[in-house]
Structure 1
Amino acid sequence: MIDTDRTAPVTAVLDSLAEAWARGDADSYGAHFTEDATYVTFVGTRYQGRQDITDSHRSLFAKFLKGTRLAHEVLDVRFLGPDAAVLTSRGDTVKGNRPKALTKVQTYTLVRQDGRWLVAAFHNTQRKSLMERISFAFAPDTRPKAAR
């Protein structure tokens, strides 16, 4: 169970990222990342630093991701100390209604700097649920303990 009193400032970062995304505001989106943040997309593209993340999203919001928004669901928040947290979520980029199943799993490493939570590292992975089911069927011990 997630302690919402403690995690609210961390999870609010995702909501704010989604709001900036929906506006197509690359500068606001990028402002949620540390100066030296690492950002890995589901296709494996790696961006390094706030400016690289901002610039790439400026182009993406003008072309491929124009008119989209983010849908997300927080799975877990784990604190590594008072100023560091790892957040895992399911998410997706959507146009129109939220999909029934969010197809990506995301990991955010957040740090608190000057009282503000920022993303220091982000990794986005496309979930392959069919491959998961096949793996679990042939090797049941590969199923995560929480899903048993």
Structure 2
Amino acid sequence: MTITQDQKKEEAAVLEVLEGVYNAWNDGDADAFVAEYLENASSILPGVYMKSREEIRAAMGHSFAGPLKGTRAADEVLDVRFLNDEAAVVISRTGVLAPGETEAPPERTVFATWVLAKRDGKWLLAAYSNSPSVRPAGRPM
């Protein structure tokens, strides 16, 4: 299948949203982190469900001031799929790097699912979920 210029442009626009999220993470800026989230966006992390942009912003603000202070996120996009002209899914592997690290250890690496929706010509995050990239010992698939 040949990818058209329009498809390449849309994929670049989707990935730009993720880049903005990670730039905000690296700056420790919770407001910028959620700038391209829908108001009713959701986020699921192990043991945590947030159901609005404000809940996500508050949680990230707390984290950037505490356990994530000074960390950086390293993201590797594994797959980008368009469900239609206004919905996309991105799968990535993300590692949280402590100050001075160049590679995240397995216990700070996750697989993430990003769901984006196009609103008024702009891609925005509708949902995010992640899961540890390493399966606990003895746990079946």
Q: Give the TM-score taking structure 1 as reference length.
A: 0.80
Aligned in 2, Cα 1:129/1:99: closer, same or farther, shift over 3 Å?
farther
* Partner residue of 1:47 out of 42, 47, 50: 50
Instruction: Say whether 1:56 aligns with 2:59.
Output: yes
> CA separation in 2, counterparts of 1:100 and 1:63?
19
Query: Which runs of 4 or more aligned residues in structure 1 lie more than 4 Å from their structure 2 counterparts after TM superposition?
Result: 129-132
Q: Count residues in correspondence.
A: 133
Q: Give the TM-score taking structure 2 as reference length.
A: 0.84
Q: Among all aligned residue pairs of Structure 1 and Structure 2, give the percentage whose two residues are the same amino acid.
A: 37
* Aligned equivalent of 2:125: 119
The more displaced of 81-90 and 5-14 is 5-14
Instruction: Say whether 1:92 aligns with 2:95.
Output: yes
Which of the two has greater helix per residue? 1
* Partner residue of 2:17 out of 2, 13, 16: 13
Matched position secondary structure for 1:65: coil
Amino acid corresponding to residue 127 of structure 2 in structure 1: A
> CA separation in 2, counterparts of 1:101 and 1:83?
35
Deviation at 1:98, TM superposition (A): 3.1
Q: Tell me the alpha carbon deviations over residues 11-54 of structure 1, each in whole angstroms, 9 at most, x when there is no partner.
A: 1111111111111110110112111011011x220111111111
Deviation at 1:97, TM superposition (A): 2.9
Gaps of 5+ in 1: 136-141, 143-148
> CA separation in 2, counterparts of 1:46 and 1:69?
22
